[in-house]
Amino acid sequence: DKASIGVTGLAVMGRNLARNLARHGHTVALHNRSEQRTRDLVERFGAEGTFVPTYSARDFVAALERPRKLVIMVKAGAPTDAVIEEFAPLLDEGDIIVDAGNAHFADTRRREAELRDRGLHFVGTGVSGGEEGALHGPSIMPGGSPESYDTLGPLLEDIAAKVDGTPCCAHIGPDGAGHFVKMVHNGIEYADMQLIAESFDLLRGALGLEPARIAEVFRTWNTGRLESYLIEITAEVLAHTDAATGTPFVDVVADQAEQKGTGRWTVQVGLDLGVPITGIAEATFARSLSGHTELRSAARGLAGPTRAPLTGAAAERFADDVEQALYASKVVAYAQGFNQIQAGSAEFGWDIDLGAVAAIWRGGCIIRARFLDDIRAAFRAEPDLPTLLTSGEFRGAVEDAQDAWRSVLSTAVRLGIPTPGFSTALAYYDALRAERLPAALVQGQRDYFGAHTYRRVDREGTFHTEWATEGRPEQLA
Ligand code: NDP
């Protein structure tokens, strides 16, 4: 019997995807560059379903029923191109190559166009949820042709996470749309993690709470509107004690955050598209700053305020205030991320359904959260919503939270606790709602030194002031 799907690249992600497919009753052809991983999988997990191990590209392709569906799960970048070049010549018109690795969407667009010319479908697919998700149900974000989704979609929906019986998998849009959305997902993940980390730092710095006590605060938050995988695991991490030293685990970890680069991609693309994703950018820079040990040790002695922790009513209120600040900042970060998806969709003609994106992020992925249900509802009610901040539900919640949000930030500033994520979120909120921005002055400066011209609030046209002679505006057009 032929396999309904094949997986090549059987490291942790590919192996678990293959097992997930087999556990759902699909016959799965297996292939990996080095044979050992294939043998390993069959030896250890062969009983979980029907696997067809193969040890050459030709045998792998021959094992697949047509149209062939083969999933590539290798190290992203040049290896993906190498694997495509190995298999594409062996395939027939209408076959489907799925790249489930973390490719940059621009690479996916290039590969899709090339393979389309050769009569093949190429489906760049975002997969989120790490190795556990791959095995038990990830959130799956496939791009590529709608036609390829007709054949491939049911298999992916089978193995995806389910929320209220709905699979966390949907066709996102043509060519690179799936990988683009996965990229923004990771960017939002950076922002969310940073905001949670700042909340911890605030609770510790302003109240002097121990990590185990802060874990309890997070557990309480996790029963409310902030309920999410990231809050849940944060409580676990904070409650964890280092066995070797008996001190809180978080205190023995070096405080330099690393990154694999998807956050950086999100920021770079945000700049290219002109979308102010300030929350994701600050989170990415915060990781970068933490790693600059030479800068940090040079600056360590710089003066700061005396830190007298909060007392009395202010202390009692503080954890609740931080919850509100975290919620409001999170709404901003997600609003920005969804704006980036809107911008990408417009730029590349993807016609992405934002409600569907929120729906498939509700389960399986790292940012899964109760909150995404509300985001889904907001875009269902108003598909062209300019920003989540003005949707019925979020508008009220953020307005209610703003006093606490401002209060937390003033405490942070007073005590010298760095809150780049919270700060940029509030600045964004205040800038968006402002009647007038000092951008008018920036335009004046630009016109002064570079004759860059400006528009006026009271008249149509483009204007330039002859700054050297007098301040009289002359209409140019
Ligand atoms: P790795 O990224 O570590 O990649 C290892 C796999 O790639 C092995 O199967 C390896 O084969 C294969 N490989 C590397 N170079 C080549 C090449 N030139 N030709 C053929 N095969 C090659 O594996 P992961 O399982 O961690 O991740 C797989 C993909 O999934 C990556 O794109 C990753 O970004 C993405 N991803 C990972 C997540 C995670 O949590 N780890 C989450 C979501 C996506 P060999 O055994 O022969 O060395």
Smallest CA separation from ligand 1 atom 29, residue: 101
> What is residue 471's predicted lDDT score, i.e. its pLDDT?
58
| 75 CB near ligand 1 (under 6 Å) | yes
CB 393 within 8 A of CB 364: no
* Token duo for residue 291: 């790693």
| 127 CB near ligand 1 (under 6 Å) | yes
Which DSSP state fits 473? Answer: E
Alpha-helix runs per DSSP H in 351-435: 354-360, 371-381, 392-415, 420-433
Question: Is residue 287 annotated as involved in ligand binding?
Answer: yes
| 34 CB near ligand 1 (under 6 Å) | yes
> Long-range contact list for 296-301, CB < 8 A, 24+ apart?
none
Instruction: State how far the Cα of 158 lies from the Cα of 70, in Å rounded to an integer.
Output: 16
Instruction: Report helix angle 105-117 to 177-207, nearest 10.
Output: 170
Question: Is residue 69 annotated as involved in ligand binding?
Answer: no
> What is residue 303's predicted lDDT score, i.e. its pLDDT?
96
Whole-number Å distance, alpha carbon 466 to ligand 1 midpoint, is 60
Ligand 1 atom closest to 76 (CA): 32
Instruction: State how far the Cα of 428 lies from the Cα of 229, in Å rounded to an integer.
Output: 26
> What is residue 308's predicted lDDT score, i.e. its pLDDT?
86
Q: What is the ipTM of this complex?
A: 0.97
The segments of the chain whose pLDDT lies below 70 read 470-477
Taking the CA atoms of residue 155, residue 161, residue 167 and residue 172 in that order, the dihedral angle to the nearest 10 degrees is -80
| 130 CB near ligand 1 (under 6 Å) | yes
- The radius of gyration of the chain's CA atoms, rounded to the nearest angstrom, is 25
Ligand 1 atom closest to 36 (CA): 46
Whole-number Å distance, alpha carbon 323 to ligand 1 midpoint, is 38
Residue where the block lists tokens 């975002």 = 126
> What is residue 392's predicted lDDT score, i.e. its pLDDT?
85
Instruction: State how far the Cα of 375 lies from the Cα of 401, in Å rounded to an integer.
Output: 18
Ligand 1 atom closest to 130 (CA): 40
Non-local (6+) Cβ contacts of 319 within 8 A are 203, 207, 217
- Give the residue among 127, 159, 148 at the shortest CA–CA distance from 19: 159
CB 167 within 8 A of CB 157: yes
Question: Is residue 193 annotated as involved in ligand binding?
Answer: no
> What is residue 247's predicted lDDT score, i.e. its pLDDT?
97
Full-model pTM: 0.96
| 73 CB near ligand 1 (under 6 Å) | yes
